[in-house]
A and B are shown apart, each in its own frame.
Chain A
Amino acid sequence: MDSPADKLLAAPADLDPFARDLRRLDDALSGRVSADPENVERGLAALVLTVIELLRQLMERQALRRVEAGGLDDETIERLGSTLMALAQRMDELKEIFGLDDDDLNLDLGPLGRLL
């Protein structure tokens, strides 16, 4: 074994999608937060949106479990669904406004994995 490339047993021609993990690894290894003034606002927005996204996903999962279990009447399902759909759309708009993508909306919890 002379180089890391020897470790690719089978790989697609395009490795870019997997490279996003390297960025995360880099962040984890350097363990530093970029605090230059221009980035602070974006960083704060990312943090707040991460928390909101976490809550949104939890609510959605809970709703899906209840729908699957049955026992909800049509009106409740419709109300839950349209609320969650509106939340999801609003979330996408906010991400667009702050120029964030899904990878930005996450926290690395070390051994616990990623938050979202």
Chain B
Amino acid sequence: MIWVYGICDRPELAPPRRRGLAQAPLDGLREGELLAVFTRHARSVGEPAPDALWAHERVVERLMADRAVLPMRFGSTVDGEDALRRFLLERRQPLLAALARIAGRVELGVRILELHASGNGSAPAVATIAAGAATGRDYLISRLRDGKRAEQLATTLHEPLATLAADARLQTARGADDVLRGAYLVERGVVPRFRVTVERLQLAHPEVAILCTGPWPPYTFVSDA
């Protein structure tokens, strides 16, 4: 079984002398303009424990230090080198296009939660009832207003970040206090400006908590390759 970490440009550059999962040495498979970096394993090594996740992540980040990398998701395996070569041949065009798109760029993750005065950080599903909705009409109108306000807040926070990014993907909200979950594809050199912008938004919006993580390999932006 072969565990794949990433698909890189600059195939003439040998994989770094490092070890990947289960201490297996990194190996590379070159096919045209592409290089796939992998480790060989006799049996499954991919229990999604934090150590293993970080081992995978470290390999991808090391690769990113001197080449463009399409990061493979944790758990990407193929049967053997033949299957891997076939994949590189069949997907050559989309892989090259994706590499061109992410070269020199990193992914930054942004999560924004709305904070509530109640202090427990969790919004009741129907936060507005107590706020004095006397009639059914008042209730519906206040729910409409809540929805609009949340939408506006998300847009206000997303736009200045999107301006700094080459691409952005937003996930749908997963809870009542979820304002924004986004991934931003940013030029390496722009990362400090992105961070300053996040800090500025946080200052301007004390009603939310903004968490920005990265830089990550652009996992979110290679799914269509």
For B199, list chain A residues within 8 Å (CB). 10
Q: How far is the CA of A103 from the CA of B214 in the complex (A)?
A: 27
Question: Judging by beta carbons under 8 Å apart, are A68 and B144 in contact?
Answer: yes
Question: Judging by beta carbons under 8 Å apart, are B195 and A74 in contact?
Answer: no
Question: Judging by beta carbons under 8 Å apart, are A10 and B212 in contact?
Answer: yes
In the complex, whether B220 has a CB less than 8 A from a CB of chain A is no
In the complex, whether B96 has a CB less than 8 A from a CB of chain A is no
Question: Judging by beta carbons under 8 Å apart, are B211 and A12 in contact?
Answer: yes
B30 to chain A, nearest CB (A): 27
Main secondary structure of the interface of A (DSSP, over half): helix
B141 to chain A, nearest CB (A): 8
Main secondary structure of the interface of B (DSSP, over half): mixed
In the complex, whether B190 has a CB less than 8 A from a CB of chain A is no
Question: Judging by beta carbons under 8 Å apart, are A81 and B137 in contact?
Answer: yes
Question: Judging by beta carbons under 8 Å apart, are B58 and A1 in contact?
Answer: yes
Question: Judging by beta carbons under 8 Å apart, are B121 and A17 in contact?
Answer: yes
In the complex, whether B176 has a CB less than 8 A from a CB of chain A is yes
Chain A residues engaging chain B, CB cutoff 8 angstroms: 1, 4, 7-12, 14-18, 20-21, 29, 53, 57, 60, 63-64, 67-68, 74, 77-85, 88-89, 91-92, 101-103, 105-106, 113-114, 116
